[in-house]
Structure 1
Amino acid sequence: MLRPDRGRSAWLAATLIGLIAVSAAPAPADAVATTSLASTVEPAPASREEIAAAVAELIVDAMSAEERASAVVMGHVGGTDAGALARYVDDRDLGGFILMGSNVPKDPRGLARLTDGIDGEDGALPPLVAVDQEGGVVSRLAWDDGPAGAELARRSPESTREAFDARGALLEAAGISVNFGIVADVGTATSGFIRPRTLGGDADAASERVAAAVAGERQHAFSTLKHFPGHGAAPGDSHSVIPETNMTLEEWRAEHAPPFASGIEAGAELVMTGHLRFTAVDDVPASVSPEWYRILRDDLGFEGVAVTDDLGMLLASGEERYADPVDSAVDAIAAGADLVLMVAGSNARTAGDMADGIGAAVRDGDIPEDRLREAATRVVTLRVLASGLLDGPEFDPAG
């Protein structure tokens, strides 16, 4: 995935040496009795994901609380000056950057040069670089003319896999590691503005195509399922209001959970939580709801990165509780999010202010230290995988 090495072998070598040193440490005396038994069992080779997670734990262990807080923020500012964007990310060592239309040059080569700049200096762990590239209605890359949304809903699941394979290849060539591009919402009659972007009008049809999209895309870029728990259940545009429904949890499980479950089973690395209020489950939007993060983890078995939808969107709701994106970021991380996203209303200071707010919340005890460590480790695991440094045959258990 992405461009390999790029001069970052130094930090990976140091990290792996540390990992090997820890794993090779002498066993405690009370463990000697089990050594002979353990030696007769052939251990399963570690997967790339397991290696990346172990490396990420070491990296996060070495971070300060402030650095961990920055690692769980994905920010945005406009412009195509690669140097300016790199400084924006590097000044606070943000976990990621999301490209919007104002950041995308007119051609693929220009975009590849820009993401090279955002990736930073040799020897540094690159940030996640994300984009909303659904195709069709939501498209940041003008040269992506492949089918999307409702058009794919009318075609076979295999057409969806092919479309996202091609779309993912464009992202990979551009140096983009994360796509917020797989709409797992069900296109119901009440789904409103999201319907043309959905991959199916019922749970079964959407589930098949969501899984196919993940299968096609994830060999090129990390796949994201959105907008959990499902925009199709709550009418209204979350860019301007907080859509609300009184749908029961049982109804949700039958009618809107299946596409998310299908995408998770297919291997999607991220799930984006929406600003959607299911009053029968929680009075707060899913993006800041501990109960919805619990359902995502415990009921659907998701172990990857939970990222919020743009917290700037909550400002437009007019609800006083969500008038400050820093407070919303703190609430989201405390609730169970791993990565907070900020676009609408963002300026050069916003992401840093969010990181400061998260760090202060940890110091004040409003966010447990282990919660921030867990979130940062999940994000850094993706960053290690996205760096390309584990793509060699030496890290392939089947090799």
Structure 2
Amino acid sequence: MSPLRTVAPAILAIALLSGCSAAQSTPEASSTPTPEPRPVPATAGTPEPFDPVAVYVQAAMAGMSVEEKAASLLMLHRPGLDPAPIRADIEGYGLAGVILMGDNVPGDPASLRALTDALVVDPDLPPLVAIDQEGGIVRRLPWDAAAGPDTLKSQPVEATTQAFDARAALLSDVGASVNFGIVADVTADPGSFIYSRVLGIDPASAADRVAAAVGSEQGEVFSTLKHFPGHGAAPGDSHTSIPQTDLAYADWEARDAVPFQAGIDAGAELVMFGHLRFTAVDDAPATVSAAWMDVLRDDLGFDGVAITDDMLMLQRSGVPEFADPVENAVRALVAGQDLLLYVLPADPSSVGVDVDALIGGIASAVESGRIDQDSLDESVARVLTLRRSLAVG
């Protein structure tokens, strides 16, 4: 059975399990006789009505410190083919998981499976192992021969289903559990940075193919829609700048929102936010914008895991406001992000981040009240639910 289908109910169950009992009021006097109490079944009060994943997550969270909760919301990349330092990050910090880049991928599937198997510190709570496997120009597994978005956008929807059927099976076979591979951006401009990676050049065609890709990944890997609220509307490359648009919300809703809504409705478990400024909604980049998080949760109805694009990209933008990695992380969590992504460089002198300082800074922001404790716990519950479902699926 797919672990993916239990995620949203489990999060709801955690909320129910954690809720406080309402104060009981004294009933008014009544002439109606009070019925005799019926025998209580032996199973009453046990957690059977709730998803077992939720029960596990609640118990795990009860024993976590603020620092451990902060660390559980981080996903890192550590360069190299040796699993030992990657596993040390997971075990030492208690990370949510890792993202595999090209420098982590050996020459054959069996070797990659051996690497990902070595990253499992606790089989009861496996790490999320993510990878960018869009197909076409963005693929970390060189043996993925299935069609990519560059060709799928001009083929029937069935071609997308077939391509992502094959792609999802490859990812599952090598031990990847999250694919950052479904581009829900839409643009018809061949000059756009994202054009070769989009699945459709208009809202309807993109939506059909995004939904098909999500459907193909169900039961194999967790699906991620990116780059919310839509790179197609914001010119520029978010790897080195903060692309900006003044697109009106109504126009965004009619165009850029459509593929994301289709992917959410199809069951995508994650949505990745881009470092994109839509100034008509919020002058802040979407990754640190509570306004855009409200749109995702309330208007699009997404209740899964919200993840940032690589947070180091904000630092590389050159904008002084985003020079401090700890402040960036705190702002993202204040905005409601669940999972923070960091692609650490091979060269320590390059733009990077002190992981210990990052965890400490987040914990301090929680203790000062800047990051709401309940919001933090909701994010931890979402991420742990995703991880636990891998073990019990």
Does the pair score TM above 0.5? yes
Secondary structure class of the residue paired with 2:253: helix
Query: Given the superposition, is the C-alpha separation of residues 283 and 344 from structure 1 closer, same or farther in structure 2, using an over 3 Å criterion?
Result: farther
Shift of 1:46: 8.4
Write the distance in 2 (CA, Å) between the matches of 1:182 and 1:364: 37
Name the residue aligned to 2:67: 66
Write the distance in 2 (CA, Å) between the matches of 1:289 and 1:126: 30
Q: State the one-letter code of the partner of 2:106.
A: P
RMSD (Å), alpha carbons = 2.8
Assess if the C-alpha contact under 8 Å between 1:245 and 1:277 holds in 2: yes
What are the ranges of 5 or more consecutive residues in structure 1 without an aligned counterpart? Answer: 4-18, 40-44, 392-399
Shift of 1:376: 0.6
Cα deviation digits, residues 80-118 of structure 1 (max 9, x gap):
111221112111011111001111111101100100111
Secondary structure class of the residue paired with 2:133: coil
Assess if the C-alpha contact under 8 Å between 2:2 and 2:218 holds in 1: no
Shift of 1:345: 4.4
Query: Given the superposition, is the C-alpha separation of residues 67 and 33 from structure 1 closer, same or farther in structure 2, using an over 3 Å criterion?
Result: farther
Cα deviation digits, residues 34-84 of structure 1 (max 9, x gap):
998x99xxxxx9899x44234323222221111110110001110111122
Secondary structure class of the residue paired with 2:179: strand
Is 1:160 the counterpart of 2:156? The answer is: no
Assess if the C-alpha contact under 8 Å between 1:150 and 1:200 holds in 2: no
Name the residue aligned to 1:288: 288
1:207-222 equivalent positions in 2, closer than 5 A: 207-222=207-222
Name the residue aligned to 1:96: 97
Name the residue aligned to 2:339: 339
Secondary structure class of the residue paired with 1:196: helix
Write the distance in 1 (CA, Å) between the matches of 2:294 and 2:237: 25
Shift of 1:153: 0.8
- Residue range with higher mean Cα deviation, 134-143 or 149-158: 149-158
Query: Given the superposition, is the C-alpha separation of residues 121 and 298 from structure 1 closer, same or farther in structure 2, using an over 3 Å criterion?
Result: closer
Write the distance in 2 (CA, Å) between the matches of 1:173 and 1:353: 36
Name the residue aligned to 2:387: 383
Shift of 1:188: 2.7
Is 1:113 the counterpart of 2:114? The answer is: yes
1:310-389 equivalent positions in 2, closer than 5 A: 310-343=310-343, 345=345, 350-387=354-391, 389=392
Cα deviation digits, residues 150-195 of structure 1 (max 9, x gap):
2111111121111111101111111111010000000232771110
Name the residue aligned to 2:79: 78
Is 1:144 the counterpart of 2:144? The answer is: yes
* Identical amino acids, percent of aligned pairs: 48
Assess if the C-alpha contact under 8 Å between 1:191 and 1:235 holds in 2: no
1:102-251 equivalent positions in 2, closer than 5 A: 102-122=103-123, 125-189=125-189, 192-251=192-251
Q: State the one-letter code of the partner of 1:361.
A: A
TM-score normalised to structure 2 length: 0.85
What are the ranges of 5 or more consecutive residues in structure 2 without an aligned counterpart? Answer: 4-13, 28-33, 42-46
Secondary structure class of the residue paired with 1:192: coil
Cα deviation digits, residues 201-221 of structure 1 (max 9, x gap):
000000000000000012200
Write the distance in 2 (CA, Å) between the matches of 1:273 and 1:181: 13
Write the distance in 2 (CA, Å) between the matches of 1:65 and 1:33: 48
Assess if the C-alpha contact under 8 Å between 1:73 and 1:341 holds in 2: yes
What count of residue pairs does the alignment treat as equivalent?
Answer: 360
Write the distance in 1 (CA, Å) between the matches of 2:247 and 2:136: 30
